[in-house]
Amino acid sequence: MSPTSVLLVEDDDKVRGLVEEALRTAGFFVHSIPLASQIFDVLEGRLYELILLDLGMPQGTLQGMEALMLLRSIEAWREIPVIILSAFADVVNRAITTRLGVVGILTKPFDVQELVALLQRVTVRR
């Protein structure tokens, strides 16, 4: 059985590196990008089983929530589960994000083992 493929969208190099390492160690296939605007180019070439998405990305022209809404407007990508990583998860509108297919929200800083456990629960359900 092949490893679960995860697309990680995180602008902070340090966080992105730590998450990549933890997920790879746990047996996931991880492709990471630093900008939300790159999601669509990456998804054209491959379908991922799960997306980890930072909401607050000051660099680039597309923010995480905008990217999530665009993802859900494209039928081929509508069903991919999304986990949000955010320093401001307490202000994230959970009703909206749930409707948009968000299966989990983690507040930064988060424990990477908590993230790995969440991904394992989500992938088992699928």
Contact 118, 106 (CB under 8 A): yes
Where residue 76 sits, what CATH number does that domain have? 3.40.50.2300
Residue 105 CB neighbour total at 10 angstroms:
19
17 — pLDDT class (breaks 50, 70, 90): very high
Count of domains forming the chain = 1
Distance of CA 99 to the CA centre of its chain: 16
Residue 118, both tokens = 């969440």
Domain presence at residue 126: no
pLDDT higher than threshold 70 for residue 60: no
Residue 21 sits in which domain range? 5-119
Domain presence at residue 28: yes
Domain presence at residue 27: yes
Domain presence at residue 124: no
Give per-residue pLDDT as tens, 62-114: 888 888 889 989 888 888 999 998 887 666 677 777 788 889 888 888 999 99
Domain presence at residue 125: no
